[in-house]
Amino acid sequence: MAEYEMVREIQNLCPNNQMRDIFFDEVETDDPESYVRDFLKGKAVDVSSQRGEDGAVTVFATCDGLIQKFVFTLL
Q: Mind listing the pLDDT tens digit for each residue in 41-75? A: 877 899 999 999 888 999 999 988 888 999 999 99
> What percentage of the chain carries pLDDT values higher than 90?
67
Domain boundaries of the chain, sorted by first residue: 2-74
39 vs 7: CA distance, rounded Å? 13
What pLDDT shows up at residue 26?
98
Torsion of CA 49, 51, 52, 57, to 10 degrees: 70
Predicted confidence (pLDDT) per residue in 26-47, tens digit: 999 999 999 999 999 877 899 9
- Distances 19 to 5, 16, 43 between C-alpha atoms, Å: 22, 9, 24
What pLDDT shows up at residue 65?
80
